[in-house]
Homo-oligomer: A and B are copies of this chain.
Amino acid sequence: MPRIDAIDIFYLRGPEILDISDNSQDATLIRISAGGEVGWGECDASPLPSIGALVGPMSHVACRPVNDSVLGEALDNPVDIARINQRIKARSLDLLQANHVLAGVDTALWDLLGKRLGEPVWKLLGQKRVTPKRAYGSQLFGDTAQETLEKARTQRAKGFVAVKFGWGPFGHGEVATDADHLTAAREGLGEDGILLVDAGTVWVDDLEAATARLDALRETEATWLEEPFVSGALDAYKALSERSGSIGIAGGEGAHEFFMARAMIDHGGLDFVQIDAGRMGISEARRVAEYATAKDVRFVNHTFNSDLALSASLQPFAGNAKDDICEYPVERKLIGESLVKDRIARDADGLVCAPEAPGLGVEPDADVIRRFLVDVEIKVAAEVLYKTPEV
């Protein structure tokens, strides 16, 4: 019975960190070893607090570092992963950042177990085969409507029928300005393009501000409006979903555990639930995918990191035929683009499937990790509690 003999965390950082909504400018990676196998996971999380959550000293019985619930645990089958998840949740209950670290840990556990058993993770999760997903190109709005138009044309030329625009100026200014951006996006995509819009929580819980954009969204035939509000604003979500008609309401990336996502399905009126395995782990994301299916809500991944994260986020719904669209980042920085050698590619029709190879089916490149690795040292009461490990 192999036991987990090492768990390491790595902080990677690109040459510049810009003040933009691009989560792939740095990276938080988790590496777990057991019985001679190694698994990798990526957290969509702030690196330094995550290191603290993995190795920081215990505060009390329910506020322990994550590694304390992982090291030495048996890892033979999916039940072990469920047990380790539960251990972390109970023993790090009061350590808020622990959920983001758990995400990478859970992913690395599945990767490791899949490699050992020679099976892709999605199969270990109970799915018989993968079903193709329409990859939507995920990018930021342009600073001007003209720029948005050009960005839409560029993605369409690259073969993206479905394109999501998000963040940037959208929602911060006049309703008419937003309408201009939406019109430009529709024009650039063409009549048959699938237009997805991401407001990036800009209206917090202001129902009227979101409602004011519905006409322009309808006129440009947007498929969904994503994150009009912060994840917890269930009442505002619900009310908007009752007004939005043909415009689907999407959200959920802010959920860092199953129950948060479930609340948005049960009480927020979501049409699409968007889950980042890098924020809650593959195990919890799978629970959300199953729950969404039962409630006839469409599950979509949220991914703005490397292909390691993309594979992780595809696993929970890899075999759900009805969930046929997936986020596919196209504007990533260096780390996001290069961490994995064999990219998860779109086919000629622009479709993507979860990898068939064991585990996550993708492997981070050690040279790339070394290239971007940040030296971190944390001393607590004269003891070195963390030092960037060897790759």
**Partner-B contacts on A (CB < 8 A):** 11, 13, 17-23, 25-26, 44-53, 55-63, 86, 89-90, 93-97, 99-100, 167, 200-201, 204-205, 230-235, 254, 256-260, 262-263, 266-267, 374-382, 385
Contacts and interface: CB of A to CB of B under 8 A. Distances in A.
B235 A266 contact: yes
A92 to B, nearest CB: 8
A25 to B, nearest CB: 6
Contacts of A13: 57, 381
Contact of A381 (B61, B90, B374): B374
Contacts of A51: 52
B96 A17 contact: no
Nearest to A45: B96
B46 A53 contact: yes
A232 B254 contact: no
Given A376-B378, A378-B376, A379-B375, A97 B53 contact: yes
Nearest to A56: B48
B256 A234 contact: no
Contacts of A45: 94-96
Contact of A21 (B21, B26, B61, B100): B61
A96 B11 CA distance: 17
B99 A96 contact: yes
A243 to B, nearest CB: 19
Closest 7 CB pairs between A and B? A232-B259, A48-B56, A49-B52, A48-B52, A97-B97, A52-B52, A49-B49
A46 B267 contact: no
Give the one of A59, A99, A258 with max B CB within 10 A: A59
Contacts of A231: 259
B94 A44 contact: yes
B375 A377 contact: no
24 contacts: A13-B381, A18-B60, A23-B60, A23-B63, A23-B94, A26-B59, A46-B52, A46-B95, A48-B52, A48-B55, A48-B57, A49-B52, A50-B52, A53-B97, A62-B200, A96-B256, A97-B97, A232-B260, A232-B262, A235-B262, A263-B267, A267-B267, A377-B377, A378-B378
Given A49-B53, A51-B52, A263-B263, 8 more contacts: A46-B56, A46-B59, A97-B97, A232-B258, A232-B260, A234-B259, A376-B379, A377-B377
A271 B24 CA distance: 44
B379 A377 contact: yes
A86 B258 CA distance: 26
A112 to B, nearest CB: 24
